[in-house]
Structure 1
């Protein structure tokens, strides 16, 4: 598992605000390749949601590039450990 944050640069909806708007945990891949993600939303209306992968989460809540994942831990699922991702902590879109 690894931890991360959903960081929003701009909030076009005006609902969740900017900065760190959610905390997340990515689970190891299951037999069909999905890496489920648990997301704890912060702010005035906190809740927890589950997504079948980071791509699915960002497709809905990425606001067309206005948000990104900032990883707090290195990627334990990448045996080669891409140094570019480890150094920035960002999830490539």
Structure 2
């Protein structure tokens, strides 16, 4: 069966410009995946790496945006259905 490109997960980096909490550091602090159903996974870097699952990019924004100190840098283009729900572009500044 062929793989349909639009059904594939999209990758992104969670880039932190300033670490307001002193926990995750700065730079690329996590790698993420947005799935075709809108769910998101984050694989965290650092001394205590973990993987977390979120319902949407909006949830990631609300939890990890830190008042504009964090940016999502997309590696792949989001499907239209996910973009509409996230107000997304190729990068997000919160």
TM-score bracket for the superposition, by shorter chain length? 0.7 to 0.9
Structure 2 unaligned spans of 5+: 1-8, 84-88
* Per-residue CA distance 1:16-72 (angstroms, 9 max, x = gap): 00000000000012xxxxx10011000111000000001101111111111011001
1:56 aligned to 2:59? yes
CA RMSD of aligned residues (A): 1.8
1:32 match:
none
CA apart distance, 1:3: 0.1
> Structure 2: how far apart are the matches of 1:67 and 1:92?
6
Question: Which structure 1 residue ranges, 4+ long, deviate > 4 Å from structure 2?
Answer: none
1:90 match:
91
TM-score by length of 1: 0.78
> Structure 2: how far apart are the matches of 1:92 and 1:12?
15
Structure 1 unaligned spans of 5+: 30-34
2:50 match:
47
